[in-house]
Amino acid sequence: MNTTVNRARWARPAAAGALLVALTAGLAAPAVAAEPAGPGAKAPGAGLPPLDGAAIRRALPALPNADLTSALLRVSGSAGGFETTWGSGDLTTGRPVDVDGRFRIGSISKVFTATVVLQLAGEHRLDLDAPVQRYLPGVLPAGWPPITVGQLLDHTSGLPNGTSGAWGDGTNAWFVEHRAQSVTPQQVVASMAGESLRFEPGTAQQYNGMNTFVAGLLIEKVTGHGYAYEVQNRIIRPLGLRDTAVPAASDLRLARPAARVYLTVPGPDGTSRQEDVTEQSPWPWAEGGLISSAPDLDRFFTALFKGRLLPRAQQQRLFTVPDVPNHENSHCSTTPDGNGGRACMSEGLEHVQINGVDLWGKTGSRPGYTNGVFATKDLSRKIVYSLNPTGVGGANMSYVFGLADAVFPAATS
């Protein structure tokens, strides 16, 4: 089976449900002072409706059901806060979901990776407008045109999807059988050999995790340290993120999970069973292997939005989306409001509109998880969610859209 199609299927839950983010809590002094509000500036939260807890609870049905076993939601910000859970955190014991527990954040990991790259640019250790080939000679196939570091971060590089077999055939049964399997970042990147670029670098945008694998290798080459070391010392430790980690690919454990996660697999005679896949290899690494929690993601994104992690020039790039078309990819067009086929990714974040409200953040998925963390730029409303689907086909996205509408309802006349 074509592995490009398989990878798209694994990624679809992360790509299809752009939503929501985080919470403030005593962080270090900002590297860049916040800009004062100008004349006529709106107060934080202006125009946002009050939170309706009952409507939010109704956004998801009673769980578990055929699509989801459990979910958690955390909303915060100057416009009000709310948190709740659905379902059971363990189908065997019946324990409740831990709203502060850990989960596999999938592609939200990309924001950590982009932040480190932007920090290195602020330290003049790399140039975002310089070719990746300057820093990683021989890693990308010979004969390709220059691809800048910034084009990796905003997915305008045109990199192909590669042919790594780590995505399998895209079924629940395959993942259950191979959940301890891992491949190295070098193997993933090397799988692009013999493929052609999808488009001329800088002319379009196509969401592709291959960009972030290369960015992780770039971090290691420029710093001389492992990716996990840099994330730990630049983000996790300074912000006191006690639940966040970059686990080794061979470490299948997940301590204090918010909920145990399950995939439904077919059994004999047309029956089915649920397999616990809470323990799985975090091999996606810089692209999607991190573990975190709602409070930690809240703290990280709040620090990031407030300019506490990046100098001013790199902070501006974090909130700038290139004006290019979205290339044959649904990532930017399957949010509730869509975006007319244009790019939606900056050099680290995703920009979406939910019922007219501008949000910045990132989605992320792994088998058993569909997550998101988004916020208004002024942090007046922030949301973190983690849903636990029983499949990888994207059926849970209607629930994500329901949450979006409940937290950011359409204005009534």
Q: The whole model's pTM is what?
A: 0.89
Q: Is residue 3 part of a domain?
A: no
Q: Contacts by 338-343 with C-beta closer than 8 Å and gap 24+?
A: 343/154, 343/155, 343/156, 343/204, 343/205
pLDDT score at 5: 28
CATH code of the domain covering residue 174:
3.40.710.10
Cα atoms in the Cβ-side hemisphere of radius 13 Å centred on 306? 21
Neighbouring-strand partners of residue 103: 292
Q: Is residue 155 part of a domain?
A: yes
Q: Is residue 4 part of a domain?
A: no
Structural domain containing residue 347 = 20-25+53-407
Q: Which two tokens stand for residue 269?
A: 């005679």
In 78-148, which residue ranges form alpha helices assigned H by DSSP? Answer: 109-122, 132-135
pLDDT score at 14: 34
Q: Is residue 48 part of a domain?
A: no
Of 363, 367, 371, nearest to 344 by C-alpha is 363
pLDDT score at 179: 96
Q: Is residue 396 part of a domain?
A: yes
DSSP state of 106: G
Q: Is residue 373 part of a domain?
A: yes
Residues of the chain with pLDDT under 70: 1-46, 164-165, 329-330, 333-340, 393-395, 412-413
**How many domains are contained in the chain?**
1
Return the sign of the alpha-carbon dihedral for residues 320, 32, 108, 130.
Answer: positive
First vs last C-alpha separation in the chain: 51
Of 253, 273, 264, 281, nearest to 395 by C-alpha is 264
pLDDT score at 407: 96
Q: How many residues does the chain have?
A: 413
Report the greatest alpha carbon distance in the chain.
70
pLDDT digits (tens, 9 = 90+) for 13-53: 333 333 332 222 222 222 223 333 333 444 556 679 899 99
Q: Is residue 46 part of a domain?
A: no
Q: Is residue 93 part of a domain?
A: yes
Of 44, 95, 87, 36, nearest to 63 by C-alpha is 87
CB contact set of 122 (below 8 Å; sequence gap of 6+): 310, 311, 313, 314
